[in-house]
């Protein structure tokens, strides 16, 4: 049975071209919309497997249309098309419930790949813009580091991992070429900085923060 697709774009020629390509690839286009409100209306009426939606549309933009479609028809997978490649646009689309984000000048083969991925219940981000999102995430993470990176030193982080892995003070001292007293001092400083009061709490914290995978 052919998968049913809804296309929403305010350019008739683009819709018709995409429809032709999809139908030649054994997809079934059950509806077309030239604006966001019509897209939401058709999604509620037709319940397609997926909707391909342009961001820039009159009346109701693609991001808000995506949000409404996902709210009204959560089973409909939304693929957002856009000329914008900045991380704000991408993150806004996914926050609205989009399952994929593609640049509008993507090759048709990438649209097919995205459709197959999202219909498997996964998320697709065009490789052409993935680096933008990764860079933005790294910048945000660097400007707002977690308590482990912000609160303790590199050596204390090493000791935290060894503590979580069940190493004794003697083993840690031998491994790091320091005295047992130094290890015990570091461990106390770690507990004070993180406001933790037992080895069990330190271990749970280390696992939660990704210091160790035990």
- 202: domain CATH number? 1.10.10.10
Supply the angle between the helices 199-208 and 154-164 in degrees, to the nearest 10: 110
pLDDT in tens, 186-198: 999 999 888 888 9
Pairing, β 50-54 against β 28-33: unpaired
Are 107 and 14 contained in the same domain?
yes
Are 133 and 165 contained in the same domain?
no
pLDDT at 22: 94
Classify residue 214: in a domain, yes or no: no
Q: Specify the pTM.
A: 0.67
Last residue of a domain, one of 121, 140, 159: 140
Residue 211 has pLDDT above 90, yes or no: no
Alpha-carbon span 69 to 135, nearest angstrom: 29
Are 125 and 158 contained in the same domain?
no
Mean pLDDT score, 76-82: 95
Domain of 90 in residue numbering reads as 4-140
Are 155 and 124 contained in the same domain?
no
pLDDT in tens, 116-166: 999 999 999 988 888 777 776 666 655 555 544 456 787 888 888 898 889
pLDDT at 131: 77
């Amino acid at each position: 049975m052919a998968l049913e697709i809804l296309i929403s774009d305010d350019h008739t020629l683009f819709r018709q071209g995409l429809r032709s390509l999809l139908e030649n690839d054994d997809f079934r286009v059950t509806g077309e919309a030239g604006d966001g409100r019509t897209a939401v209306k058709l999604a509620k009426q037709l319940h397609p497997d997926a909707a391909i939606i342009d961001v820039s549309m009159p009346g109701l933009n693609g991001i808000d249309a995506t949000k409404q479609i996902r709210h009204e028809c959560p089973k409909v997978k939304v693929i957002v098309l856009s000329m914008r490649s900045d991380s704000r646009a991408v993150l806004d689309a996914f926050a609205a419930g989009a399952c994929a984000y593609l640049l509008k000048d993507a090759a048709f083969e990438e649209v097919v790949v995205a459709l197959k991925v999202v219909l498997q219940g996964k998320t697709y981000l065009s490789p052409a813009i993935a680096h933008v999102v990764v860079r933005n995430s790294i910048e945000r993470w660097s400007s707002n580091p977690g308590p482990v990176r912000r609160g303790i030193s590199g050596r204390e982080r090493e000791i935290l991992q060894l503590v979580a892995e069940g190493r004794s003070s003697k083993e840690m001292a031998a491994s790091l070429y320091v005295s047992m007293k130094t290890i015990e001092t570091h461990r106390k400083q770690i507990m004070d900085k993180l406001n933790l009061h037992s080895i069990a709490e330190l271990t749970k914290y280390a696992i939660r923060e990704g210091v160790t995978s035990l």
